[in-house]
Structure 1
Amino acid sequence: MGMRRAKTARTAPTDTVLTMEDSMTARFRRAISDPVISRSPAHLRNQALNFAAETESRIVELTSRIAHLEALAVTDDLTGLLNRRGFENVLQRNLLSAARYDEAGLLAYLDLDGFKSINDEHGHLAGDELLRIVGYFLKQNIRATDYAARVGGDEFAVLFVRAQNAPARERARSLVRGIDKLSFRHNGKTVVVRASLGLAYYDANSEQAELLARADAAMYADKKKGSRAARMIING
Protein backbone atom coordinates (compact mmCIF):
# COMPACT_ATOMS: atom_id res chain seq x y z
CA MET A 1 0.00 0.00 0.00
CA GLY A 2 1.21 3.49 -0.77
CA MET A 3 1.93 5.95 1.93
CA ARG A 4 -0.90 8.28 2.83
CA ARG A 5 -0.15 11.93 3.18
CA ALA A 6 -1.42 13.59 6.31
CA LYS A 7 -4.02 16.19 5.57
CA THR A 8 -3.09 19.67 6.64
CA ALA A 9 -5.32 22.72 6.66
CA ARG A 10 -4.20 25.36 4.23
CA THR A 11 -5.19 28.97 4.11
CA ALA A 12 -5.83 30.30 0.63
CA PRO A 13 -3.80 33.42 -0.30
CA THR A 14 -7.03 35.36 -0.88
CA ASP A 15 -8.22 34.39 2.61
CA THR A 16 -5.07 35.99 4.00
CA VAL A 17 -5.93 39.25 2.24
CA LEU A 18 -9.50 39.20 3.52
CA THR A 19 -8.39 38.42 7.09
CA MET A 20 -5.95 41.32 7.02
CA GLU A 21 -8.63 43.66 5.63
CA ASP A 22 -11.11 42.59 8.32
CA SER A 23 -8.51 43.24 11.03
CA MET A 24 -7.73 46.71 9.76
CA THR A 25 -11.44 47.51 9.42
CA ALA A 26 -11.96 46.52 13.05
CA ARG A 27 -9.09 48.76 14.13
CA PHE A 28 -10.53 51.66 12.16
CA ARG A 29 -13.96 51.20 13.71
CA ARG A 30 -12.46 51.14 17.19
CA ALA A 31 -10.55 54.32 16.44
CA ILE A 32 -13.53 56.31 15.20
CA SER A 33 -15.67 55.11 18.13
CA ASP A 34 -13.20 56.66 20.57
CA PRO A 35 -15.06 59.62 22.15
CA VAL A 36 -11.92 61.76 22.15
CA ILE A 37 -11.26 61.20 18.45
CA SER A 38 -14.95 61.59 17.61
CA ARG A 39 -14.82 65.14 18.96
CA SER A 40 -11.94 65.99 16.59
CA PRO A 41 -12.90 65.97 12.88
CA ALA A 42 -9.32 66.73 11.78
CA HIS A 43 -7.97 63.86 13.86
CA LEU A 44 -10.68 61.59 12.48
CA ARG A 45 -9.81 62.56 8.91
CA ASN A 46 -6.11 61.89 9.49
CA GLN A 47 -6.92 58.51 11.04
CA ALA A 48 -9.02 57.59 8.01
CA LEU A 49 -6.26 58.61 5.58
CA ASN A 50 -3.61 56.69 7.53
CA PHE A 51 -5.71 53.53 7.63
CA ALA A 52 -6.49 53.83 3.91
CA ALA A 53 -2.80 54.22 3.03
CA GLU A 54 -1.79 51.31 5.27
CA THR A 55 -4.53 49.11 3.83
CA GLU A 56 -3.50 49.88 0.24
CA SER A 57 0.16 49.19 1.01
CA ARG A 58 -0.60 45.83 2.64
CA ILE A 59 -2.93 44.78 -0.17
CA VAL A 60 -0.24 45.55 -2.76
CA GLU A 61 2.27 43.53 -0.71
CA LEU A 62 -0.06 40.55 -0.33
CA THR A 63 -1.10 40.66 -3.99
CA SER A 64 2.57 40.47 -4.96
CA ARG A 65 3.05 37.55 -2.57
CA ILE A 66 0.06 35.71 -4.05
CA ALA A 67 1.43 36.20 -7.58
CA HIS A 68 4.78 34.79 -6.41
CA LEU A 69 3.13 31.72 -4.87
CA GLU A 70 1.04 31.14 -8.00
CA ALA A 71 4.23 31.29 -10.11
CA LEU A 72 5.91 28.73 -7.85
CA ALA A 73 2.96 26.36 -8.37
CA VAL A 74 3.68 26.13 -12.10
CA THR A 75 7.50 26.28 -11.99
CA ASP A 76 10.01 23.44 -11.74
CA ASP A 77 12.20 24.35 -8.77
CA LEU A 78 15.29 22.58 -10.13
CA THR A 79 15.50 24.12 -13.62
CA GLY A 80 13.35 27.23 -13.31
CA LEU A 81 11.32 26.13 -16.34
CA LEU A 82 7.59 25.49 -16.32
CA ASN A 83 6.56 22.23 -14.66
CA ARG A 84 4.06 19.81 -16.21
CA ARG A 85 1.07 21.62 -14.75
CA GLY A 86 2.29 24.99 -15.98
CA PHE A 87 3.13 23.65 -19.43
CA GLU A 88 -0.24 21.98 -19.90
CA ASN A 89 -1.94 25.25 -18.93
CA VAL A 90 0.12 27.11 -21.52
CA LEU A 91 -0.55 24.42 -24.13
CA GLN A 92 -4.29 24.57 -23.52
CA ARG A 93 -4.35 28.36 -23.88
CA ASN A 94 -2.41 28.24 -27.13
CA LEU A 95 -4.58 25.49 -28.61
CA LEU A 96 -7.65 27.60 -27.81
CA SER A 97 -5.95 30.55 -29.49
CA ALA A 98 -5.08 28.37 -32.49
CA ALA A 99 -8.72 27.28 -32.83
CA ARG A 100 -10.00 30.84 -32.58
CA TYR A 101 -7.48 32.60 -34.81
CA ASP A 102 -6.50 29.71 -37.12
CA GLU A 103 -2.94 29.56 -35.78
CA ALA A 104 -0.41 26.74 -35.90
CA GLY A 105 2.74 25.68 -34.06
CA LEU A 106 4.92 22.77 -33.01
CA LEU A 107 5.25 20.70 -29.84
CA ALA A 108 8.67 19.15 -29.19
CA TYR A 109 9.35 16.42 -26.63
CA LEU A 110 12.96 15.83 -25.54
CA ASP A 111 14.16 12.92 -23.41
CA LEU A 112 17.72 12.65 -22.07
CA ASP A 113 19.30 9.35 -23.09
CA GLY A 114 21.11 7.33 -20.43
CA PHE A 115 19.97 9.62 -17.62
CA LYS A 116 19.23 6.74 -15.22
CA SER A 117 22.74 5.32 -15.62
CA ILE A 118 24.24 8.70 -14.69
CA ASN A 119 22.15 8.78 -11.51
CA ASP A 120 22.99 5.15 -10.72
CA GLU A 121 26.73 5.42 -11.33
CA HIS A 122 27.49 8.95 -10.21
CA GLY A 123 24.70 9.99 -7.88
CA HIS A 124 21.75 12.31 -8.04
CA LEU A 125 23.88 15.42 -7.67
CA ALA A 126 25.34 14.72 -11.12
CA GLY A 127 21.85 14.06 -12.49
CA ASP A 128 20.52 17.29 -11.01
CA GLU A 129 23.39 19.27 -12.48
CA LEU A 130 22.68 17.77 -15.90
CA LEU A 131 19.00 18.78 -15.65
CA ARG A 132 19.91 22.33 -14.62
CA ILE A 133 22.33 22.68 -17.54
CA VAL A 134 19.77 21.44 -20.06
CA GLY A 135 17.07 23.67 -18.56
CA TYR A 136 19.31 26.73 -18.78
CA PHE A 137 20.25 25.89 -22.36
CA LEU A 138 16.60 25.62 -23.42
CA LYS A 139 15.69 28.85 -21.66
CA GLN A 140 18.49 30.71 -23.46
CA ASN A 141 17.80 29.27 -26.91
CA ILE A 142 14.07 29.69 -27.51
CA ARG A 143 12.18 32.78 -28.60
CA ALA A 144 10.55 34.99 -25.98
CA THR A 145 7.16 33.88 -27.36
CA ASP A 146 7.91 30.15 -26.99
CA TYR A 147 7.73 28.00 -23.85
CA ALA A 148 10.05 25.40 -22.35
CA ALA A 149 9.23 23.00 -19.52
CA ARG A 150 10.53 20.06 -17.56
CA VAL A 151 7.54 17.73 -17.73
CA GLY A 152 9.04 14.64 -16.10
CA GLY A 153 12.20 13.30 -14.49
CA ASP A 154 14.42 13.69 -17.56
CA GLU A 155 11.77 14.80 -20.06
CA PHE A 156 11.49 18.31 -21.42
CA ALA A 157 9.01 19.97 -23.74
CA VAL A 158 9.15 23.04 -25.93
CA LEU A 159 6.13 24.75 -27.47
CA PHE A 160 6.88 26.75 -30.61
CA VAL A 161 3.97 29.19 -30.78
CA ARG A 162 2.56 30.56 -34.06
CA ALA A 163 5.27 28.79 -36.05
CA GLN A 164 5.37 27.24 -39.49
CA ASN A 165 6.08 23.53 -39.63
CA ALA A 166 9.42 23.35 -41.45
CA PRO A 167 11.19 26.26 -39.69
CA ALA A 168 9.93 25.12 -36.27
CA ARG A 169 11.13 21.56 -36.88
CA GLU A 170 14.56 22.88 -37.80
CA ARG A 171 14.69 25.00 -34.63
CA ALA A 172 13.77 21.92 -32.57
CA ARG A 173 16.47 19.83 -34.23
CA SER A 174 18.92 22.67 -33.65
CA LEU A 175 18.09 22.52 -29.93
CA VAL A 176 18.89 18.80 -29.85
CA ARG A 177 22.17 19.38 -31.70
CA GLY A 178 23.00 22.00 -29.09
CA ILE A 179 22.13 19.66 -26.22
CA ASP A 180 24.31 16.96 -27.78
CA LYS A 181 27.25 19.37 -27.45
CA LEU A 182 26.68 20.06 -23.76
CA SER A 183 28.96 18.56 -21.12
CA PHE A 184 30.07 19.10 -17.54
CA ARG A 185 32.71 17.83 -15.18
CA HIS A 186 31.86 15.52 -12.28
CA ASN A 187 34.40 13.70 -10.08
CA GLY A 188 37.13 14.02 -12.68
CA LYS A 189 34.98 12.84 -15.56
CA THR A 190 33.16 14.62 -18.33
CA VAL A 191 29.45 13.90 -18.65
CA VAL A 192 28.33 14.20 -22.26
CA VAL A 193 24.62 14.80 -22.81
CA ARG A 194 22.47 13.23 -25.51
CA ALA A 195 18.75 13.60 -26.19
CA SER A 196 15.98 11.98 -28.21
CA LEU A 197 13.38 14.15 -29.95
CA GLY A 198 9.70 13.80 -30.82
CA LEU A 199 7.75 16.40 -32.80
CA ALA A 200 4.03 16.99 -33.30
CA TYR A 201 2.62 19.85 -35.36
CA TYR A 202 -0.64 21.46 -34.27
CA ASP A 203 -3.23 23.64 -35.97
CA ALA A 204 -6.75 24.97 -35.41
CA ASN A 205 -8.20 21.45 -35.21
CA SER A 206 -5.71 19.88 -32.78
CA GLU A 207 -6.71 18.53 -29.37
CA GLN A 208 -4.38 18.55 -26.38
CA ALA A 209 -4.43 14.85 -25.44
CA GLU A 210 -3.89 13.73 -29.02
CA LEU A 211 -1.08 16.24 -29.58
CA LEU A 212 0.76 15.15 -26.43
CA ALA A 213 0.38 11.49 -27.40
CA ARG A 214 1.81 12.11 -30.89
CA ALA A 215 4.84 14.00 -29.56
CA ASP A 216 5.48 11.33 -26.92
CA ALA A 217 5.22 8.48 -29.44
CA ALA A 218 7.57 10.26 -31.85
CA MET A 219 10.12 10.77 -29.09
CA TYR A 220 10.11 7.09 -28.11
CA ALA A 221 10.43 6.11 -31.76
CA ASP A 222 13.54 8.29 -31.99
CA LYS A 223 14.92 6.76 -28.79
CA LYS A 224 14.45 3.22 -30.15
CA LYS A 225 16.83 4.00 -32.99
CA GLY A 226 19.60 3.83 -30.42
CA SER A 227 21.65 6.35 -32.32
CA ARG A 228 22.33 8.50 -29.24
CA ALA A 229 23.33 7.55 -25.70
CA ALA A 230 24.60 9.63 -22.80
CA ARG A 231 27.95 8.33 -21.62
CA MET A 232 30.74 9.05 -19.18
CA ILE A 233 34.12 9.82 -20.74
CA ILE A 234 37.28 9.53 -18.63
CA ASN A 235 39.73 12.28 -19.53
CA GLY A 236 43.22 11.16 -20.53
Structure 2
Amino acid sequence: MGNDHRFNERTFAMSLHATVTILPPAQNSAPVTLPAPWGEEQPRLDRHIELWLSETARLLGATPLPTDESRRSDVLRLALALAEAERIIKAQQAEIEKLEALSLNDDLTGLFNWRGFNRQVSVGLAEAQRTGIGGVLIYVDIDDFKKINDTYGHAAGNAVLREIAGLLSHKVRQHDSVGRLGGDEFAALLTRTSAAQGFRRVRDIAQALEQVTILHDGIAIPVTASVGAVAFSPDDSPEALLERADRRMYDCKRGRTRLEVA
Protein backbone atom coordinates (compact mmCIF):
# COMPACT_ATOMS: atom_id res chain seq x y z
CA MET A 1 0.00 0.00 0.00
CA GLY A 2 1.21 3.54 -0.64
CA ASN A 3 2.95 5.39 2.15
CA ASP A 4 0.23 8.04 2.23
CA HIS A 5 -2.34 5.51 3.41
CA ARG A 6 -0.41 3.65 6.13
CA PHE A 7 -1.49 3.93 9.75
CA ASN A 8 0.40 4.04 12.97
CA GLU A 9 -0.73 1.44 15.50
CA ARG A 10 -3.19 3.71 17.32
CA THR A 11 -4.81 5.04 14.15
CA PHE A 12 -4.99 1.54 12.71
CA ALA A 13 -6.89 0.28 15.78
CA MET A 14 -9.29 3.21 15.60
CA SER A 15 -9.84 2.71 11.88
CA LEU A 16 -10.39 -1.02 12.34
CA HIS A 17 -13.11 -0.39 14.96
CA ALA A 18 -14.76 2.31 12.87
CA THR A 19 -14.80 0.12 9.76
CA VAL A 20 -16.14 -2.94 11.55
CA THR A 21 -18.82 -0.74 13.07
CA ILE A 22 -19.87 0.32 9.56
CA LEU A 23 -19.59 -3.09 7.87
CA PRO A 24 -21.07 -6.42 9.02
CA PRO A 25 -18.65 -9.20 10.05
CA ALA A 26 -17.95 -12.05 7.65
CA GLN A 27 -20.41 -14.92 7.67
CA ASN A 28 -19.93 -17.32 10.63
CA SER A 29 -17.34 -15.00 12.22
CA ALA A 30 -17.60 -13.49 15.66
CA PRO A 31 -18.17 -9.72 15.93
CA VAL A 32 -15.07 -7.63 16.58
CA THR A 33 -15.30 -5.31 19.57
CA LEU A 34 -12.76 -2.55 20.18
CA PRO A 35 -12.95 0.52 22.45
CA ALA A 36 -13.80 3.70 20.68
CA PRO A 37 -14.55 7.25 21.52
CA TRP A 38 -12.47 9.54 19.29
CA GLY A 39 -14.37 12.81 19.46
CA GLU A 40 -13.16 15.40 16.96
CA GLU A 41 -10.83 12.91 15.22
CA GLN A 42 -13.73 10.84 13.86
CA PRO A 43 -14.25 12.70 10.53
CA ARG A 44 -10.52 12.57 9.74
CA LEU A 45 -10.40 8.87 10.62
CA ASP A 46 -13.39 8.16 8.42
CA ARG A 47 -11.51 9.78 5.54
CA HIS A 48 -8.44 7.64 6.26
CA ILE A 49 -10.61 4.54 6.26
CA GLU A 50 -12.01 5.42 2.86
CA LEU A 51 -8.53 6.04 1.47
CA TRP A 52 -7.31 2.76 2.92
CA LEU A 53 -10.18 0.75 1.46
CA SER A 54 -9.96 2.57 -1.89
CA GLU A 55 -6.26 1.75 -2.11
CA THR A 56 -6.95 -1.92 -1.39
CA ALA A 57 -9.71 -1.96 -4.00
CA ARG A 58 -7.33 -0.41 -6.53
CA LEU A 59 -4.69 -3.06 -5.83
CA LEU A 60 -7.33 -5.74 -6.36
CA GLY A 61 -8.54 -4.16 -9.59
CA ALA A 62 -11.92 -3.42 -8.02
CA THR A 63 -12.16 0.30 -8.64
CA PRO A 64 -14.04 2.36 -7.83
CA LEU A 65 -14.58 1.19 -4.25
CA PRO A 66 -17.80 -0.85 -4.15
CA THR A 67 -20.78 0.76 -2.46
CA ASP A 68 -22.50 -2.55 -1.74
CA GLU A 69 -21.91 -3.41 1.95
CA SER A 70 -21.13 -7.10 1.36
CA ARG A 71 -18.53 -6.29 -1.30
CA ARG A 72 -17.06 -3.54 0.86
CA SER A 73 -16.81 -6.09 3.65
CA ASP A 74 -14.77 -8.34 1.33
CA VAL A 75 -12.47 -5.43 0.57
CA LEU A 76 -12.11 -4.77 4.30
CA ARG A 77 -11.10 -8.36 5.04
CA LEU A 78 -8.52 -8.25 2.26
CA ALA A 79 -7.26 -4.88 3.50
CA LEU A 80 -6.76 -6.32 6.98
CA ALA A 81 -4.99 -9.37 5.52
CA LEU A 82 -2.67 -7.13 3.50
CA ALA A 83 -1.91 -5.00 6.54
CA GLU A 84 -1.10 -8.08 8.62
CA ALA A 85 1.09 -9.48 5.83
CA GLU A 86 2.94 -6.17 5.64
CA ARG A 87 3.47 -6.23 9.42
CA ILE A 88 4.85 -9.79 9.27
CA ILE A 89 7.18 -8.93 6.37
CA LYS A 90 8.54 -5.91 8.24
CA ALA A 91 9.15 -8.01 11.36
CA GLN A 92 10.94 -10.63 9.26
CA GLN A 93 13.07 -7.98 7.55
CA ALA A 94 14.05 -6.53 10.92
CA GLU A 95 15.03 -10.00 12.15
CA ILE A 96 17.08 -10.65 9.01
CA GLU A 97 18.89 -7.32 9.44
CA LYS A 98 19.59 -8.19 13.08
CA LEU A 99 21.00 -11.60 12.16
CA GLU A 100 23.10 -10.09 9.38
CA ALA A 101 24.54 -7.52 11.78
CA LEU A 102 25.41 -10.30 14.22
CA SER A 103 27.18 -12.22 11.44
CA LEU A 104 29.37 -9.19 10.63
CA ASN A 105 30.14 -7.88 14.12
CA ASP A 106 32.15 -9.08 17.10
CA ASP A 107 29.97 -9.67 20.16
CA LEU A 108 32.58 -8.60 22.71
CA THR A 109 33.77 -5.32 21.20
CA GLY A 110 31.04 -4.33 18.76
CA LEU A 111 33.64 -3.95 16.01
CA PHE A 112 33.49 -5.72 12.67
CA ASN A 113 34.53 -9.36 12.89
CA TRP A 114 36.79 -11.00 10.29
CA ARG A 115 33.96 -11.42 7.80
CA GLY A 116 32.64 -7.89 8.29
CA PHE A 117 36.09 -6.30 8.08
CA ASN A 118 36.94 -8.20 4.90
CA ARG A 119 33.75 -6.79 3.40
CA GLN A 120 34.83 -3.28 4.40
CA VAL A 121 38.24 -3.82 2.77
CA SER A 122 36.54 -4.83 -0.47
CA VAL A 123 34.31 -1.73 -0.29
CA GLY A 124 37.33 0.50 0.46
CA LEU A 125 39.30 -0.86 -2.49
CA ALA A 126 36.31 -0.46 -4.80
CA GLU A 127 36.05 3.17 -3.69
CA ALA A 128 39.78 3.63 -4.33
CA GLN A 129 39.32 2.32 -7.86
CA ARG A 130 36.52 4.84 -8.47
CA THR A 131 38.28 7.86 -6.96
CA GLY A 132 41.96 7.03 -7.52
CA ILE A 133 42.61 7.76 -3.82
CA GLY A 134 44.08 4.94 -1.74
CA GLY A 135 44.61 4.63 1.98
CA VAL A 136 46.35 2.67 4.71
CA LEU A 137 45.60 -0.65 6.38
CA ILE A 138 46.76 -1.12 9.99
CA TYR A 139 47.23 -4.43 11.81
CA VAL A 140 47.46 -4.46 15.62
CA ASP A 141 48.38 -7.45 17.78
CA ILE A 142 48.38 -7.25 21.60
CA ASP A 143 51.69 -8.47 23.00
CA ASP A 144 51.64 -11.45 25.39
CA PHE A 145 47.86 -11.52 25.53
CA LYS A 146 47.83 -15.14 26.71
CA LYS A 147 49.98 -14.10 29.65
CA ILE A 148 47.44 -11.41 30.56
CA ASN A 149 44.66 -14.01 30.56
CA ASP A 150 46.74 -16.49 32.56
CA THR A 151 47.85 -13.91 35.12
CA TYR A 152 44.75 -11.78 35.62
CA GLY A 153 41.92 -13.96 34.29
CA HIS A 154 39.71 -13.91 31.20
CA ALA A 155 37.53 -11.07 32.50
CA ALA A 156 40.64 -8.90 32.59
CA GLY A 157 41.56 -10.09 29.11
CA ASN A 158 38.12 -9.08 27.85
CA ALA A 159 38.54 -5.67 29.47
CA VAL A 160 41.84 -5.26 27.59
CA LEU A 161 40.19 -6.19 24.29
CA ARG A 162 37.37 -3.70 24.83
CA GLU A 163 39.85 -0.97 25.77
CA ILE A 164 41.92 -1.50 22.61
CA ALA A 165 38.74 -1.60 20.52
CA GLY A 166 37.62 1.71 22.02
CA LEU A 167 41.01 3.33 21.47
CA LEU A 168 41.13 2.33 17.80
CA SER A 169 37.54 3.41 17.20
CA HIS A 170 38.27 6.79 18.77
CA LYS A 171 41.37 7.30 16.63
CA VAL A 172 39.76 6.78 13.22
CA ARG A 173 37.35 8.90 11.23
CA GLN A 174 33.69 8.12 10.72
CA HIS A 175 34.17 6.65 7.25
CA ASP A 176 37.11 4.44 8.33
CA SER A 177 36.59 0.87 9.57
CA VAL A 178 37.89 -1.04 12.59
CA GLY A 179 37.66 -4.78 13.14
CA ARG A 180 38.63 -7.45 15.61
CA LEU A 181 39.96 -10.19 13.37
CA GLY A 182 40.03 -12.81 16.10
CA GLY A 183 41.68 -13.36 19.46
CA ASP A 184 44.01 -10.42 20.15
CA GLU A 185 44.32 -9.15 16.55
CA PHE A 186 42.72 -5.92 15.34
CA ALA A 187 42.79 -4.01 12.08
CA ALA A 188 41.82 -0.54 10.91
CA LEU A 189 41.19 0.60 7.34
CA LEU A 190 41.98 4.27 6.74
CA THR A 191 40.38 5.33 3.47
CA ARG A 192 40.50 8.49 1.35
CA THR A 193 43.97 9.43 2.52
CA SER A 194 47.50 9.62 1.12
CA ALA A 195 50.21 7.29 2.40
CA ALA A 196 51.99 10.18 4.13
CA GLN A 197 48.87 11.36 5.94
CA GLY A 198 47.83 7.81 6.76
CA PHE A 199 51.20 6.89 8.27
CA ARG A 200 51.12 10.01 10.45
CA ARG A 201 47.86 8.76 11.88
CA VAL A 202 49.33 5.27 12.26
CA ARG A 203 52.18 6.69 14.35
CA ASP A 204 49.65 8.54 16.50
CA ILE A 205 47.76 5.27 17.07
CA ALA A 206 51.00 3.42 17.87
CA GLN A 207 51.99 6.06 20.43
CA ALA A 208 48.55 5.85 22.05
CA LEU A 209 48.87 2.06 22.28
CA GLU A 210 52.19 2.43 24.11
CA GLN A 211 50.45 4.32 26.91
CA VAL A 212 47.59 1.90 27.60
CA THR A 213 47.09 0.69 31.16
CA ILE A 214 43.91 -1.16 32.10
CA LEU A 215 42.57 -0.87 35.64
CA HIS A 216 40.72 -4.10 36.44
CA ASP A 217 39.50 -5.01 39.93
CA GLY A 218 41.86 -2.43 41.35
CA ILE A 219 44.88 -3.86 39.52
CA ALA A 220 46.76 -1.83 36.88
CA ILE A 221 47.53 -3.99 33.84
CA PRO A 222 50.10 -2.53 31.40
CA VAL A 223 49.40 -3.36 27.77
CA THR A 224 51.65 -3.12 24.71
CA ALA A 225 50.89 -3.96 21.10
CA SER A 226 52.77 -4.52 17.85
CA VAL A 227 51.59 -2.45 14.89
CA GLY A 228 52.13 -2.95 11.18
CA ALA A 229 50.75 -0.77 8.41
CA VAL A 230 50.78 -0.74 4.60
CA ALA A 231 49.58 1.81 2.08
CA PHE A 232 47.18 0.56 -0.56
CA SER A 233 46.38 1.70 -4.07
CA PRO A 234 43.41 1.17 -6.41
CA ASP A 235 45.25 -1.80 -7.95
CA ASP A 236 45.46 -3.83 -4.72
CA SER A 237 43.33 -6.90 -4.02
CA PRO A 238 41.79 -7.54 -0.56
CA GLU A 239 43.71 -10.79 -0.07
CA ALA A 240 47.12 -9.33 -1.01
CA LEU A 241 46.55 -6.21 1.10
CA LEU A 242 45.55 -8.13 4.23
CA GLU A 243 48.51 -10.49 3.81
CA ARG A 244 50.99 -7.61 3.44
CA ALA A 245 49.66 -5.81 6.51
CA ASP A 246 49.70 -9.02 8.56
CA ARG A 247 53.33 -9.65 7.54
CA ARG A 248 54.32 -6.11 8.55
CA MET A 249 52.76 -6.58 11.96
CA TYR A 250 54.71 -9.80 12.53
CA ASP A 251 57.91 -8.09 11.36
CA CYS A 252 57.25 -5.58 14.11
CA LYS A 253 56.60 -8.28 16.72
CA ARG A 254 59.72 -10.27 15.84
CA GLY A 255 61.87 -7.13 15.84
CA ARG A 256 60.42 -5.98 19.16
CA THR A 257 59.78 -2.57 17.64
CA ARG A 258 56.43 -0.91 18.08
CA LEU A 259 55.69 -0.01 14.44
CA GLU A 260 56.41 -1.28 10.95
CA VAL A 261 55.15 0.70 7.97
CA ALA A 262 55.57 0.35 4.21
TM-score range, shorter chain: 0.7 to 0.9
Q: Residue in 2 aligned with 1:75?
A: 105
Task: Tell whether 2:224 aligns with 1:186.
Answer: no
Task: Tell whether 2:208 aligns with 1:144.
Answer: no
| Offset at residue 51 of structure 1 (A) | 1.3
CA distance in 2, matches of 1:210, 1:140: 27
Structure with the greater relative contact order (CA < 8 A, sep ≥ 6): 1 or 2? 1
> What amino acid sits opposite 1:138 in the alignment?
L
Task: Tell whether 2:79 aligns with 1:49.
Answer: yes
Instruction: Using the aligned pairs only, state the percent identity.
Output: 35
Secondary structure of 2:182's counterpart equals coil
The 5 Å alignment of 1:162-177 reads 162-177=192-207
Q: Residue in 1 aligned with 2:244?
A: 214
CA distance in 2, matches of 1:59, 1:187: 47
CA-to-aligned-CA distance 1:78-127 (integer Å, 9 cap, x gap): 10000001111111122123224323111000111121110111111111
CA distance in 2, matches of 1:174, 1:101: 26
| Offset at residue 155 of structure 1 (A) | 0.6
- TM-score, structure 2 length as denominator? 0.69
CA distance in 2, matches of 1:118, 1:107: 27
CA RMSD of aligned residues (A): 2.0
Q: Residue in 1 aligned with 2:64?
A: none
CA distance in 2, matches of 1:190, 1:35: 74
CA distance in 2, matches of 1:182, 1:142: 17
8 Å Cα contact 2:133/2:194 also seen in 1: no
- TM-score, structure 1 length as denominator? 0.77
Q: Residue in 1 aligned with 2:154?
A: 124
8 Å Cα contact 1:180/1:192 also seen in 2: no
Gaps of 5+ in 1: 1-33, 229-236
| Offset at residue 131 of structure 1 (A) | 0.2
CA distance in 2, matches of 1:72, 1:224: 34
Q: Residue in 2 aligned with 1:86?
A: 116
CA distance in 1, matches of 2:160, 2:219: 13
CA distance in 1, matches of 2:157, 2:107: 15
CA distance in 2, matches of 1:105, 1:186: 36
8 Å Cα contact 1:106/1:163 also seen in 2: yes
> What amino acid sits opposite 1:195 in the alignment?
A
Gaps of 5+ in 2: 1-25, 30-67
Runs of 4+ with deviation above 3 angstroms:
34-39
CA distance in 1, matches of 2:139, 2:214: 23
Q: Name which one, 1 or 2, has greater alpha-carbon Rg.
A: 2
> What amino acid sits opposite 1:113 in the alignment?
D
CA distance in 1, matches of 2:176, 2:139: 14
| Offset at residue 168 of structure 1 (A) | 0.8
Q: Residue in 1 aligned with 2:186?
A: 156
**Paired residue total:** 195
CA distance in 1, matches of 2:88, 2:209: 45
Secondary structure of 1:151's counterpart equals strand
8 Å Cα contact 2:137/2:232 also seen in 1: yes
